[in-house]
Amino acid sequence: MKIICIGRNYSEHAKELNNEVPKEPVIFMKPKNALLLPDKPLYYPEFTDDLHYECEVVVKLSKNGKYINERFAHKYYNEVSVGLDFTARDLQEQQKKKGLPWEIAKAFDGSAAVGSFIPVNEGTNVNDLSFQLKLNDTIVQDGNTKNMLFSIDKIIAYVSRFFTLNIGDLIYTGTPAGVGPVTVHDQLEGYLQGNKVLNVEIR
Ligand code: MG
């Protein structure tokens, strides 16, 4: 399976990191070892002093496809959850300054936390999913997929021009404003449509 991530998909977040609002989706990937399964802790990596959370809606692919038309993209997934795109912000800033790839800052072991998935059924409007992140019981991110620059279906169409999508692949769809640092002993809880789906402790 692949973990495909979209960057700068909410204009308020692009602004908070002083990035331009993109004209096309910004894509990067994480390897399979980046996956942090539900209820597993994340051990604070020794190579960073500025580990950040980024709470994002995660889509799980249920069908293989390439060159997927946006109109049919909804047929390629049937589950969504909330995840955390953990980022070593200090390393990322350093890489960005040098124009180098982000992997060491974003694709390390455990950097892709994912919650339990909930089914997408006919009544689910994936373009109006509310999601929140609580850090030690305080809401720090409060997003809705209606504020995405590129919708889930647009992302699938775009990504599948370059990469074949396979059953089980995960797409992290970008984070809204409010990202910030974590420290050891922090408790992170992710909510999707009011349901708690994610729980990560930093150790
Ligand atoms: Mg992100």
Residue-wise pLDDT for 45-78, tens only, equals 999 999 999 999 999 999 999 999 999 999 999 9
HSE, side-chain direction, 13 A CA sphere, residue 113: 29
pLDDT for 14 beyond 80: no
Q: What distance in angstroms lies between residue 52's CA and the mean position of ligand 1's atoms?
A: 10
Average confidence (pLDDT) over 16-40 = 92
Q: What is the pLDDT of residue 19?
A: 84
Q: What distance in angstroms lies between residue 174's CA and the mean position of ligand 1's atoms?
A: 5
pLDDT for 13 beyond 90: no
What contacts 120, CB < 8 A, 6 or more positions away? 77, 78, 79, 80, 126
Q: What distance in angstroms lies between residue 40's CA and the mean position of ligand 1's atoms?
A: 20
Q: What is the pLDDT of residue 114?
A: 98
Average confidence (pLDDT) over 130-134 = 98
Q: What distance in angstroms lies between residue 5's CA and the mean position of ligand 1's atoms?
A: 7
Q: What distance in angstroms lies between residue 88's CA and the mean position of ligand 1's atoms?
A: 11
Q: What distance in angstroms lies between residue 70's CA and the mean position of ligand 1's atoms?
A: 22
Residues whose beta carbons lie less than 5 angstroms from ion ligand 1:
54, 85, 175
d(C-alpha 96, C-alpha 157), whole Å: 27
**Predicted confidence band of residue 18 (pLDDT cuts 50, 70, 90):** confident
**Predicted confidence band of residue 22 (pLDDT cuts 50, 70, 90):** confident
Q: What is the pLDDT of residue 35?
A: 98
Domain that holds residue 181: 3-201
Q: What distance in angstroms lies between residue 67's CA and the mean position of ligand 1's atoms?
A: 24
Q: What distance in angstroms lies between residue 145's CA and the mean position of ligand 1's atoms?
A: 14
Residue-wise pLDDT for 78-106, tens only, equals 999 999 999 999 999 999 999 999 999 99
* Residue 167's CATH number: 3.90.850.10
Q: What is the pLDDT of residue 17?
A: 84
| Count of domains observed in the chain | 1
Q: What distance in angstroms lies between residue 8's CA and the mean position of ligand 1's atoms?
A: 7
Q: What distance in angstroms lies between residue 121's CA and the mean position of ligand 1's atoms?
A: 26
Q: What is the pLDDT of residue 60?
A: 98
The answer to whether the CB of 34 falls within 8 A of the CB of 111 is yes
Q: What distance in angstroms lies between residue 63's CA and the mean position of ligand 1's atoms?
A: 24
